Amino acid sequence: MNKAIQVWTASSEFALQVSEEQKRLYKANDPRSIYYDGRWIYRKGRHKAGEFPVVVVRKRFMDQGYKVWVSGQSKLGIDAFILAMFPSARETRDQSYLNVVKVFGEKKLDRFIAIVEQEKKKYGLVMS
């Protein structure tokens, strides 16, 4: 692993308390929300609710000084990572794929993706 990248590891569980008012402000896309600056811009399909739990946890770790990547393509406008779900983004060297390459290296990722593709085929999750 690249030593220059600080990685959080689980050492204990924690709970985050979020007020209903903050949740309401976030859902209303209101700038008064403490989560407004980190809001989920891409609100379509399964993301239409704005990924509030992801935004809350992301803010917690960012406030502690971590750089936080979320699953998705860089077109989301936030720091992201991708692996097996976006083959075209891997092929075009999307920044979200390159973020993961920095941590694990391309050879390990290629092996991992090959295993994922094999498992997806095994369960009929790959369209030919």
pLDDT tens readout for residues 45-86 = 877 888 899 999 999 999 999 888 888 878 777 888 887 777
Residue 90 and residue 81: Cα distance in Å, rounded?
A: 10
Reported as a pLDDT band with limits 50, 70 and 90, residue 23 is very high
Whole-model pTM: value is 0.69
Average pLDDT score over the chain? 85
61-68's contacts with Cβ under 8 Å and 24+ in sequence apart are 61/8, 62/38, 66/6, 66/8
The domain spans of the chain are: 16-68, 74-128
Return phi, psi of residue 109, to 5°: -65, -40
Give the model's pLDDT for residue 127: 60
**Predicted pLDDT at 3:** 53
User: Which carries the bigger pLDDT value, residue 127 or residue 45?
Assistant: 45
